[in-house]
Structure 1
Amino acid sequence: MSNGKRVRGGAAVPATPGAEVSADSYFPEHGNGGYRVTHYDLELDYRPAANRLSGRARISAVADRALSAFSLDLGAFRLDRVLVDGRPVRYTHRAGKLRVKPAKALPAGPFAVEVRYVGNPRPVRSRDWGELGWEQLEDGALVASQPIGAPSWFPCNDHLGDRAGYRITVTAPSPYTVVANGSLESYRVGASTTTWVYDQPKPMPPYLATVQIGQYELIDHLGGPLPQPAAVPPRLTADFAHDFGRQPRMVEAFTEFFGPYPFGEYAVVVVDEELEVPVEAHGVSVFGRNHLDGRRGGERLVAHELAHQWFGNSLALADWRHIWLNEGFAAYAEWLWAESCGEMTAARNAARAHAKLAAQPQDLRLADPGVRRMFDDRVYKRGALTLHALRTVMGDPAFFRLLRAWTAAHRHGTVTTGQFTALAQEHTDRPLEALVFHPWLHGTRLPRLPIGGA
């Protein structure tokens, strides 16, 4: 290779710069073209009192073509060093983009990047959802990155379709407990700090990577064959034991409905703060103290976040416009759980939700709600109603076979609305496009619920 060109089969192929926009229709400024990441190895040192984060990110990636330059997404940190394949490189860092230019163009194929950085992590500001990503708490830190907050704490290719494995190592003062994605491989206690090492080999997009730091009591297991650790403020452990006491039964029920649980563990963190809503991450869900009441008053949220491990985490979106595939399925899981407990049928929940939506504006297109409405409550409820309408038309045996086939066919992959509707049609002779999908997904007017036996 010379002069920025790679010779392949006798022909000179010019090296091209990596595109600095992704293919996502809602957030084209996040994510980067020209390569894909296969693994992140993050080594972090966090001091809660000062909100000081020091990090070393080692990123394994594969170039789609010869690249003369590429970029990563990263917030306002001071960079100490950037290496590509072990060699220092030129770079610029501004406006959330780390632009890297190796001395020689990278050929197509594997390459490695190392970034060392330090600073006070600040959330990514959004117009519609407040601050996203790393958040300093009164005593610790919380990471909730959906949809574009990941660059607030590590350099990444911040596109939901760019999935990779992660190893996350966090050093924090010894009174603090650290929870991150994956299995806890080890923790090492030093003179005044403890280092926690987590490994998540199942591929996940950057926005689902998380770190939770606080003075928590670790609860090793809630019961059942699946490891279900929890980190909870000591004074809330009794309420937690009651409010989350049926979670192992939820895992069993959802395994029957949706197929095998997709990861090796499921962790829950309760932060000693009030959160507007719980937050799911890859193999982890985060709740606020306000979601505990000792009476299981928030159990529907427990079901919702657990269901996201199938719908949203194992099956990740190819583009944010398909958000109903995450939120509609998780909202319907709330109804399925209530029904399985004999508390309220899905049909009754659907009727209630339909009545509420009928009184709201009829201007939402579920299959593409638009960036400002992607977390509108109507996406959740209309998504759940779409699934109930589908269940009613298909009948229970075919509907639940479809759900299990859906999670199996795309396990740890990316999904679209078109893939789901095509697979659904394979499971019935009824004309689903006319009966369900066109009016519920692509129309704005709320359709009537079909009458059936579900």
Structure 2
Amino acid sequence: MLNVGMSAKADPARAGQPGASTSLDAYLPDHGNGGYQVTHYDLDLVYRVGPGRLEGRARITAVATQALSRFSLDFSGLRSTKVTINGKPVRHAQRGRKLHITPNRSLPDGGRFTIEVRYMGSPAPIPSHWGEIGWDYLDDGVIVASQPIGAPSWFPCNDHPSSKATYRIAVSVASPYLVVATGVLESKQSAASTTTWEFRLSQPTPTYLVSVQIGRYAEYSFATVPMMHAAVPARLAVPFEHDFGRQPRMLVEFERMFGPYPFEQYGVVVVDAELDAPIEAQSLSIFGSNHVDGVRGSERLVAHELAHQWFGNSLTVAEWRHIWLNEGFANYAEWLWSEVSGGAAADVHAMRAWRQLSELPQDLRIGDPGTRHLFDDRVYLRGAVTLHALRLRLGDDAFFALLRVWTSAHRHGNVTTADFTALAQRHTPWPLTELFANWLNSPILPAFPRRTPGADR
């Protein structure tokens, strides 16, 4: 388990305040904070690319869920210079990766309040089981990858997927640089040698899906509704246009299968660096230069990241142990896109994945994989094969009806495995308890799934 900040037992800010400083997520108990719910983040950032210096002002609107004499925010590596609540300076202290705040008087249960934090420093990614995560540096710009613990590297926040809020993000940088952030670009204003980019994110969003990308990019757009846009190194513009050229059709097919696209627009950034894997963000996906080869060699990843806008972003896990609901669905979307775009059928992909899984250790329950295995390949592959097994049990009509109800009923909310299995059961007369128990809760790989006799195509 990550040694992030202070444990619940050791944290003095929790004295007499059960849950007021640390979340109760068993996977990342030192990320997230109890006692309040954030409703809105208003961020003003000034960043100097050369020295890598950030000055920030975060205005956070929240509602207390219990009386609060103390509370905390997740915050790492940067120095807070002033903290106020409702405009009044308050005591604060940074210990580990927490910013502990003591109001001048106790905040009442149900009361709305505004925290303002001014801060500065050189942001750096946070070390973790999965590598360094957060605000990081390109040769000439910035890349932000916040999943699952990187958001506190660049703004104070309540860093847990169940804490979803709206955002305004303004970023001021030297004018030669282009800024892309999660949300819709509201304004762009230049003064002297600096340009300020202001973005609005109106849909509830968890901190790990908020991102800022800074670089010398060329802009590109697709003629689609909703709008699709991109920021790409100029040298990659031609192969990008080919590799991502079927993305508009992909959007149409996914809307048919999953329901309406859940955001106002969709953006792609290709950074001028190689990445092991693309980065997921709300209404935005970030790819490496190695994902653009001119022959659509990474098109499955284009499908995967677009599918996350439904599964992971609009529908966000309530706790990290439900991660298969994000990655299994996005992985299955790769196979669905293959099926409708002239590639191999989902059944072929599922068989390949099953064979691959059969050669891997049989010691992981994807319904509760554990912290270290959140992003294990088996969570992705077995999650996708689980969905294929469900599709074969229900038949296509009921399966895709289920997906559309799933995305509609929980639009912009938080979800659990129990939510999904209960909804699935309402879409078939056949019992699903054994199917889900075998695929999600047993480490032993079940036999390859077969279509239920009588299920429709």
Task: State the TM-score, normalizing by the size of structure 2.
Answer: 0.94
Shift in Å, 1:394 = 0.5
In structure 2, what is the equivalent of residue 443 of structure 1? 442
In structure 2, what is the equivalent of residue 417 of structure 1? 417
Deviations 1:367-390 (A, max 9, x none): 001111110001000000000000
Q: 1:15·1:66 contact (CA, 8 Å) conserved in 2?
A: no
In structure 1, what is the equivalent of residue 321 of structure 2? 321
Work out whether 1:116 is the aligned partner of 2:89: no
Shift in Å, 1:440 = 0.3
In structure 1, what is the equivalent of residue 7 of structure 2? none
In structure 1, what is the equivalent of residue 267 of structure 2? 267
Q: In the alignment, residue 369 of structure 2 is paired with which amino acid?
A: P
Work out whether 1:296 is the aligned partner of 2:296: yes
Q: Hey, what's the Cα distance between the residues in 2 that align with 1:308 and 1:25?
A: 24
When residues 351 and 181 of structure 1 are mapped into structure 2, their CA distance, relative to the original with a 3 A threshold, is same
Percent identical residues: 59
Deviations 1:240-273 (A, max 9, x none): 1000000000000000000000000000000000
Work out whether 1:367 is the aligned partner of 2:367: yes
Work out whether 1:147 is the aligned partner of 2:145: no
Q: 1:17·1:69 contact (CA, 8 Å) conserved in 2?
A: no
In structure 1, what is the equivalent of residue 208 of structure 2? 207
Deviations 1:46-66 (A, max 9, x none): 111111000000000000121
Q: Hey, what's the Cα distance between the residues in 1 that align with 2:18 and 2:373?
A: 34
Q: Hey, what's the Cα distance between the residues in 2 that align with 1:224 and 1:84?
A: 43
When residues 368 and 15 of structure 1 are mapped into structure 2, their CA distance, relative to the original with a 3 A threshold, is closer
Q: 2:20·2:68 contact (CA, 8 Å) conserved in 1?
A: no
Q: Hey, what's the Cα distance between the residues in 2 that align with 1:67 and 1:226?
A: 42
In structure 1, what is the equivalent of residue 235 of structure 2? 235
SS of the residue aligned with 2:384? helix
Which moves more between the two structures, 318-327 or 21-30? 21-30
Q: In the alignment, residue 31 of structure 2 is paired with which amino acid?
A: H
Shift in Å, 1:15 = 8.4
Q: In the alignment, residue 369 of structure 1 is paired with which amino acid?
A: P
Q: Hey, what's the Cα distance between the residues in 1 that align with 2:58 and 2:316?
A: 23
Shift in Å, 1:203 = 0.5
Q: Hey, what's the Cα distance between the residues in 2 that align with 1:93 and 1:44?
A: 20
SS of the residue aligned with 1:67? coil
Q: Hey, what's the Cα distance between the residues in 2 that align with 1:164 and 1:23?
A: 19
Deviations 1:189-245 (A, max 9, x none): 1110100000001011111110000000111x2122111110000111111100000
In structure 1, what is the equivalent of residue 159 of structure 2? 158
Q: Structure 1: which 5+ runs fail to align?
A: 1-13
Q: In the alignment, residue 85 of structure 1 is paired with which amino acid?
A: N
Q: Hey, what's the Cα distance between the residues in 2 that align with 1:337 and 1:285?
A: 17
In structure 2, what is the equivalent of residue 182 of structure 1? 183
Q: Following superposition, which runs of at least 4 residues in structure 1 exceed 4 angstroms of deviation? A: 14-18
When residues 17 and 318 of structure 1 are mapped into structure 2, their CA distance, relative to the original with a 3 A threshold, is closer
Q: In the alignment, residue 407 of structure 2 is paired with which amino acid?
A: T
Shift in Å, 1:23 = 2.3
Q: In the alignment, residue 441 of structure 1 is paired with which amino acid?
A: L
Q: Hey, what's the Cα distance between the residues in 2 that align with 1:349 and 1:80?
A: 53
SS of the residue aligned with 2:189? strand
Work out whether 1:167 is the aligned partner of 2:156: no
Work out whether 1:133 is the aligned partner of 2:138: no
Q: 1:222·1:248 contact (CA, 8 Å) conserved in 2?
A: yes
Q: 1:15·1:65 contact (CA, 8 Å) conserved in 2?
A: no
Q: 1:402·1:427 contact (CA, 8 Å) conserved in 2?
A: yes
SS of the residue aligned with 2:380? helix
SS of the residue aligned with 2:228? coil
Q: In the alignment, residue 84 of structure 2 is paired with which amino acid?
A: L
Q: Hey, what's the Cα distance between the residues in 2 that align with 1:62 and 1:34?
A: 9
Deviations 1:107-128 (A, max 9, x none): 12100000000000011110x2
In structure 2, what is the equivalent of residue 282 of structure 1? 282
Matched ranges for 1:30-49 at <5 A: 30-49=31-50
Aligned residues: 438
Q: In the alignment, residue 196 of structure 2 is paired with which amino acid?
A: T
Q: Hey, what's the Cα distance between the residues in 1 that align with 2:449 and 2:385?
A: 10
Q: 1:271·1:287 contact (CA, 8 Å) conserved in 2?
A: yes
When residues 359 and 17 of structure 1 are mapped into structure 2, their CA distance, relative to the original with a 3 A threshold, is closer
Work out whether 1:251 is the aligned partner of 2:259: no
Q: In the alignment, residue 20 of structure 1 is paired with which amino acid?
A: S
Q: Hey, what's the Cα distance between the residues in 2 that align with 1:40 and 1:216?
A: 27
Q: 1:15·1:68 contact (CA, 8 Å) conserved in 2?
A: no
Shift in Å, 1:342 = 2.0
SS of the residue aligned with 1:412? coil
Q: In the alignment, residue 421 of structure 2 is paired with which amino acid?
A: T
Q: In the alignment, residue 156 of structure 1 is paired with which amino acid?
A: C
Q: In the alignment, residue 303 of structure 1 is paired with which amino acid?
A: A
Q: 1:15·1:105 contact (CA, 8 Å) conserved in 2?
A: no
Work out whether 1:95 is the aligned partner of 2:85: no
Q: 1:18·1:71 contact (CA, 8 Å) conserved in 2?
A: no
Q: Hey, what's the Cα distance between the residues in 2 that align with 1:131 and 1:263?
A: 29
Q: Hey, what's the Cα distance between the residues in 1 that align with 2:224 and 2:59?
A: 36
Q: Hey, what's the Cα distance between the residues in 2 that align with 1:249 and 1:134?
A: 33
Q: Hey, what's the Cα distance between the residues in 2 that align with 1:405 and 1:203?
A: 19
Q: In the alignment, residue 336 of structure 2 is paired with which amino acid?
A: L
In structure 1, what is the equivalent of residue 87 of structure 2? 86
Q: In the alignment, residue 449 of structure 2 is paired with which amino acid?
A: P
When residues 17 and 56 of structure 1 are mapped into structure 2, their CA distance, relative to the original with a 3 A threshold, is farther
Q: In the alignment, residue 438 of structure 1 is paired with which amino acid?
A: A
Shift in Å, 1:78 = 2.0
Q: In the alignment, residue 230 of structure 1 is paired with which amino acid?
A: A
Task: State the TM-score, normalizing by the size of structure 1.
Answer: 0.95
Shift in Å, 1:18 = 5.8
Matched ranges for 1:386-405 at <5 A: 386-405=386-405
Q: In the alignment, residue 390 of structure 2 is paired with which amino acid?
A: L
Q: 1:18·1:67 contact (CA, 8 Å) conserved in 2?
A: no
SS of the residue aligned with 2:168? strand
Matched ranges for 1:342-361 at <5 A: 342-361=342-361
Q: Hey, what's the Cα distance between the residues in 1 that align with 2:384 and 2:18?
A: 43
Q: 2:338·2:346 contact (CA, 8 Å) conserved in 1?
A: yes
In structure 2, what is the equivalent of residue 5 of structure 1? none
Q: 1:18·1:68 contact (CA, 8 Å) conserved in 2?
A: no
Q: Hey, what's the Cα distance between the residues in 2 that align with 1:105 and 1:431?
A: 51
In structure 1, what is the equivalent of residue 433 of structure 2? 433
